[in-house]
Amino acid sequence: MSAQPWTFGPVGDLAWQHFPEAREQITDLVCDALQRAIDADRMPQPVDQFEYATHAVGPLTRDLGLVDLDRDLVRRFCLFCRDLLGYSGPDAFEASYALGMYVLHGLDGPPVVRVIRQVDPGLIELVRARFPGTWAEE
């Protein structure tokens, strides 16, 4: 019997892949879920995708519109968004919802659009097409 690869779900997997600096927080989320299962004497439940978006990605990207932000982080954020926008697995709705509500929500306005346009201008139109009203014009 071969072991299945570990998965955190689409948001968690992509956060792990694109944001190595978030791996400690991802580990904490998983450990907390395991501890809750131990305490309740039940099987562990997967961490909700919004938890990865809120607690692992959010702290890294909340200042995305700042001029002095690390361009490599912006580049990786753009890749993370593109990968989630292209995700078509069985929990695609949950992944899209987590992206729209817990990653992109609050990252709006001219400063964010300017930073994204410098790194990945095509992403702006993709996000606007999926989430109308997001990333308003400068």
Percent over 90 (pLDDT), the chain: 75
- Closest C-alpha to 60, from 78, 47, 48, 46: 78
Crossing angle (nearest 10°) for helices 23-40 and 9-18: 140
- Token pair for residue 135? 């990333």
Q: What is the pTM for the complete model shown?
A: 0.92
Residue-wise pLDDT tens digits, 97-115? 999 999 998 887 888 888 9
Task: State which amino acid sits at residue 50.
Answer: F
Residue 36 CA to residue 34 CA, distance in Å, equals 5
Query: How many alpha carbons fall within 13 Å on the CB side of residue 65?
Result: 11
**80, 64 Cβ separation under 8 angstroms:** no
Query: How many alpha carbons fall within 13 Å on the CB side of residue 39?
Result: 6
Q: How confident is the model at residue 136 (pLDDT cuts 50, 70, 90)?
A: confident
Please give the pLDDT value at position 109.
82
Percent over 70 (pLDDT), the chain: 96
The secondary structure of residue 101, as a DSSP letter, is I
Enumerate the domain spans of the chain. 9-130
CA 86-71-79 angle, to 5 degrees, is 10
